[in-house]
């Protein structure tokens, strides 16, 4: 999720290598299709879904993709892309939809307001939170560490070989939305932002820090299935107020709450595909997404199987998404 006003981001997991291997095989750009038609009699055709690189997004994509295939007769194609290239894909016609958008006001202005090639397809129902977190053992031993004003007092604890003599603030995938460089600078914190990589790598770092009682301060986000396994503790940054993040280089406040939404290309919106209605109707909770993500990341299920398991258990809600298709 580039997650911040730029994006999200995103297990008792098996090892990192196994998770990454699973992600590459299960979340890759595979195609699914059948010969069914929508209840309206309309032909669905091909639906190109961007697949952003956190497991919560994978949950969204495969639940929608499963229904588009099994109920509407669509041919679904997944394309592994970071957030910004996903918007460009909607603009150039290679991507039809992004199923979990984390803000990106600059991209909204470019592609929706100015170029009119992308449309808002409504809320997902998910509430997004981005912030800095410490493992539970640290919050218990150093309770005042959850106040950003005390972070410099503890900076020496967070030094690593990569942090240049300062405390380390571990970030996620470089494509995620983040204000962390600006926050460290503008809050005068004695920390160095270090890119940690994937969502799975961040989770493994938290697991190791908790198990070994080693210090860790890291970027993380919700919705996120991992909170059901480990109660990470959020550091309180200066309170977000509307407009405090208007100038990226001057940000000195917490991340805003994100009401996550869906996007569709204008071309796709006008295509008459019944999948457009399905995508607009798709609306669930953080708990729903986290459950499917748990099936994938913790239980090792293939994304398509995880999606089908959830669909089978939630037919009443699914039927509301299919209305009008």
pLDDT score for 39: 62
d(CA 285, CA 300): 22
Nearest to 288 by CA among 130, 125, 129: 125
| Of 250, 274, 305, the domain-final residue | 250
Q: Please, what is the angle between helix 199-212 and helix 16-26, to 10°?
A: 160
pLDDT score for 23: 40
Beta bridge partners of 97: 49, 264
Residue 123 and residue 263 in one domain: yes
What six digits make up the tokens of 318?
């699914």
pLDDT score for 30: 56
Say if 1 falls within a structural domain: no
Residue 199 and residue 169 in one domain: yes
Q: Contact 149/123 with Cβ under 8 angstroms?
A: no
Say if 7 falls within a structural domain: no
pLDDT score for 38: 61
pLDDT score for 19: 39
Q: How many domains does the chain have?
A: 2
| Of 219, 250, 281, the domain-final residue | 250
pLDDT score for 52: 94
* Torsion angle (degrees, nearest 10) of CA 322, 317, 267, 174: -150
Residue 141 and residue 113 in one domain: no
CATH number (domain holding residue 277): 3.40.190.10
The residue ranges of the chain whose pLDDT is under 50 are 2-29
Nearest to 171 by CA among 196, 204, 208: 196
Domain extent for 141: 129-250
CATH number (domain holding residue 238): 3.40.190.100
What six digits make up the tokens of 72?
């509407």
Could you tell me which residues come within 8 angstroms of residue 32 by beta carbon, excluding any fewer than 6 positions away? 65, 66, 69, 75, 76, 304
Residue 21 and residue 51 in one domain: yes
* Torsion angle (degrees, nearest 10) of CA 211, 217, 223, 228: 20
Say if 315 falls within a structural domain: yes
User: What's the alpha-carbon Rg for the chain, to the nearest Å?
Assistant: 20
3-state percent helix, strand, coil for the chain, nearest multiple of 5? 45, 20, 35
The model's pTM is 0.83
pLDDT tens digits, 189-239: 999 999 988 899 999 999 999 999 999 999 999 999 999 999 999 999 999
What six digits make up the tokens of 319?
């039927």
Could you tell me which residues come within 8 angstroms of residue 41 by beta carbon, excluding any fewer than 6 positions away? none
| Of 197, 228, 250, the domain-final residue | 250
Residue 123 and residue 140 in one domain: no
CB environment 198-232: b (16+ within 10 A), e (fewer): bbbbbbbbbbebbeeeebbbbbbbbbbbbeebbeb
Residue 232 and residue 151 in one domain: yes
* DSSP per residue, 53-96: SSHHHHHHHHHHHHHHHHTT--EEEEEE--HHHHHHHHHHTS--
Say if 61 falls within a structural domain: yes
Nearest to 55 by CA among 273, 247, 224, 250: 224
Say if 155 falls within a structural domain: yes
């Amino acid at each position: 999720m580039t997650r911040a006003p730029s994006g999200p981001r995103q297990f008792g997991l098996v090892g990192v290598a196994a998770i990454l291997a699973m992600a590459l095989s299960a979340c890759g750009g595979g195609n699914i299709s059948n010969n069914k038609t929508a209840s309206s009699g309309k032909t669905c055709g091909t639906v190109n879904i961007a697949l952003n690189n956190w497991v919560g997004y994978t949950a969204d994509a495969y639940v929608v993709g499963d229904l588009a295939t099994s109920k509407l007769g669509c041919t679904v194609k997944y394309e592994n892309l970071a957030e910004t290239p996903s918007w460009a894909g909607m603009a150039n016609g290679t991507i039809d939809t992004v199923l979990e958008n984390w803000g990106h006001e600059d991209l909204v202005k470019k592609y929706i307001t100015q170029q009119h090639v992308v449309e808002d397809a409504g809320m997902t129902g998910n509430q997004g939170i981005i912030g800095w977190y410490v493992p539970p053992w640290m919050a218990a031993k150093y309770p005042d560490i959850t106040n950003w004003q005390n972070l410099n007092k503890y900076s020496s604890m967070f030094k690593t070989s990569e942090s240049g003599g300062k405390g380390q603030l571990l970030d996620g995938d470089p494509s995620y939305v983040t204000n962390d460089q600006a926050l460290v600078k503008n809050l005068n914190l004695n920390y160095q932002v270090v890119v940690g990589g994937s969502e799975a790598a961040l989770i493994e770092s938290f697991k190791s820090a908790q198990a070994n009682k080693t210090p860790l301060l890291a970027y993380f986000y919700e919705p996120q299935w991992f909170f059901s396994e480990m109660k990470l503790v959020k550091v309180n940054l200066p309170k977000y107020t509307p407009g405090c993040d208007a100038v990226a280089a001057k940000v000195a406040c917490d991340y805003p709450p994100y009401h996550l939404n869906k996007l569709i290309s204008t071309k796709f919106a006008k295509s008459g595909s019944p999948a457009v209605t399905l995508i607009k109707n798709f609306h669930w909770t953080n708990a729903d997404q986290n459950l499917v993500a748990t099936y994938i990341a913790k239980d090792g299920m293939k994304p398509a199987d995880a999606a089908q398991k959830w669909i089978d258990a939630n037919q009443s809600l699914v039927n509301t998404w299919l209305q009008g298709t």
